Structure 1
Amino acid sequence: MKVRQDAWSHEDDLLLAETVLRHIREGSTQLNAFDEVGDALNRTSAACGFRWNAVVRDKYDEAIKLAKKHRKQRKRQLAQDSKPIVYKQYQPKVEAPSPMLEDSNREVVVPVEPFVKNERELTMEEVISFLRSIQGSGSKAGALELENNELNKKVQHLEESYSQLQVQYQGLEEDYQSIIKIMDRARRMTMLEDEPEDRQAAAFRMDKNGNLEKVAR
């Protein structure tokens, strides 16, 4: 009969925690874990259970959550493996023989592909990971779209600025041509003033284009 009454050591608590966590992961019960630890430490199952619930359990909250998560995944995998395997048989299309070459006594052999096992179903973790990857791709695409819109706005602004510069340049070109004409007329008037008196006696007039022309007397 198990009647051990000495205090629990650190090694005893560690053995209790490891055994309980292992039974949780494997889908067993904590009572089975207490029985196993009681046999190893020569203690009763009730004493092991009391020690676990009163002292040890609070130190392993995260480990217990991980062990339960592992147990769910293990059950899901076992359920998936226990499903009957369904095979698909590939039937290729066989063309009918030509009536001229048909032989009623000839045996036709249809090739059949090897059996193919269906792919396993995706786990919830794989689906979540896939959805997160899609969400990440969508965020990158959205950022690229915003950047593209900003670049389009800059290009449009540059095109408008270029059009305005073209209009200004055309105005300056017209002003420049007007100045050239005025300077040319002034030069011609200066040349007329410097000519001898007998030449100045000749009469001139300005046409509609601003050019001087000699008038016959």
Structure 2
Amino acid sequence: MTAVRQDAWSPDDDLMLAEVTLRHIREGSTQLAAFEEVGERIGRTSAACGFRWNSCVRKRYEDAIQIAKQQRQKRNYLKKQTIVATPHVSSLSVFESDERAFKQDSSSLEEGLSIDAVIRFLRGWKSTYQDLTRQIKMYEKDMKDKEEELYRLRDQNERLSKEVNNVQTDYRAVNDDYKTLIQIMDRARRLTVLTNDEEVKPRFKMDANGNLERIE
């Protein structure tokens, strides 16, 4: 059973699909047989090959398909002529001459098809390469922007961390000063209370002459 692949089609896969399909068309075979052959060679299902051919590859080989169909018609015609031909020497000579001319014509067409396929492949590869280059440049620019943003955020994080540490240090110092001040005020209050309690209020009395005299 042919394995199912999930990766993208490469230009080599497309070229192989085109060459095998065109060969089957020239030889009078079916496209399904071509898809099955390509699927076995590149590890894909025949359905995947058929979908790729109809949705993408076929559009790039319209001229080559017409040439392949003409070759198939000519091949079928020659086969019919072979069946109805009489075993006469002159007829056989004519047939051999026509067959040699057909082979030369087919060879020339196959050579032109091969060159055309190479040109199409190179043009498609050039376009793909340009697209990939643009995407790579875009990704590199995006990565550079992300790196700059990351550097900025790291610097900001370090600065904010230092500010938080400084604020925490100041808070601890103020808190310690506040506690010390409360302790001092509390001691002063207690000393004031003790002094007031221990202080003896003086007493006075008036003598016979009307003068005040302190009583100890």
Q: Which TM-score tier does this pair reach, normalised by the shorter chain?
A: 0.3 to 0.5
Specify which structure has the bigger relative contact order, considering alpha-carbon pairs within 8 angstroms and separated by 6 or more residues: 2
More helix by share: 2
Tell me the TM-score normalised to structure 2 length. 0.41
Tell me the TM-score normalised to structure 1 length. 0.41
